[in-house]
Each structure stands twice: as C-alpha cells, then as structure tokens.
Amino acid sequence: MEIERKFLTKHIPFDITAYPCLQISQAYISFSPTIRIRQSNEDYILTVKGKGHLAREEFELPLSKEDYDRLFQKTEGTPVIKKRYLVPLAEGLTAEVDIYEGELAGLMTTEVEFPSLEAAESFIAPQWFGKDVSQEKAYKNTSLSLYGMPKEA
C-alpha cells in the first residue's frame, strides 16, 4: 500500500543540491490501470498502481535495461523527466522534492510517503511545501504525462 501526500512547491528556502538526488525518467504503458516504467539513476522498475489519491495499492518489479528499452517502445503520452531530491524530515519521514524537466520545466512538487493513513492525515507540512494537491488529479504523474503542465502551476 502506498500512502502519500503531494504538495505544489514554489520555493525551497535552502540549498536542495546538498541532498541525495535521483535522475528519474518514467513513461506509461497504460493509464487505466496505471502501468509505469521508470529509470531511476541505474535502476529500472515496472510499477502497477491501483486507483486512489491518498492511498492505493502498488506493485513493483525490477527490470533489466533491455526489458525497459523494449517496454519503452510501447508507452503512451510524454515521458515525465525529473530530478528527485531526498530531504530527511522528523519522525523518519522523507520529503521527495521533484524538480521537473523538459516540457514540465518550472514545475516543482514535494511528496511524502507515510506508514499509515493516520500518519498522513495528521502530518503538518512545513510551510515551504506549498499547497496540498494530493487530491488534485492534474498533479498526478499520469495526468502530467497525458496533459502537461497544470494551469495553476
């Protein structure tokens, strides 16, 4: 089960480059159900996600680069390319700050994954996280791949 909240971040009040960074490229084989392939640095992953916003089922399977390249030929939409910075938070949580590139350049979001719904619902985000967009479909990576930058971003 994946339980996460997502925020529209406009400004980071510290040097984000001081934190670990992943270069991510992901594309979608299917949008319903969500079947995604992702390259994260040198790792390749196939992900199947269930429906939902705050909480949903998720299954991941490692891929070889060759399988990733073959599956990439079957993708739809525009690949989502981003740098993900991993910023530690209190209580063992991590802020995943995504700075989008390519057609989505200028968009920045912050996600936090939680061990339970209760933890997600009681989480008080730092002010720099920005507006909570967890329930807004336009900010899901599937929507970004299909429709591009949301208007209010």
Instruction: Out of 19, 28, 44, 139, pick the active-site residue.
Output: 28
Residue 126 three-state SS = coil
Active-site residue flag, 147: no
- Joined together, the tokens standing for residue 12 give 């980071």
Spacing of C-alpha 24 from chain mean position: 9
Only one residue has tokens 């970004």, namely 144
Q: Rounded distance, CA 7 to CA 79, Å?
A: 21
φ, ψ dihedrals at 56, nearest 5°: -160, 155
Catalytic sites, residue numbers: 28
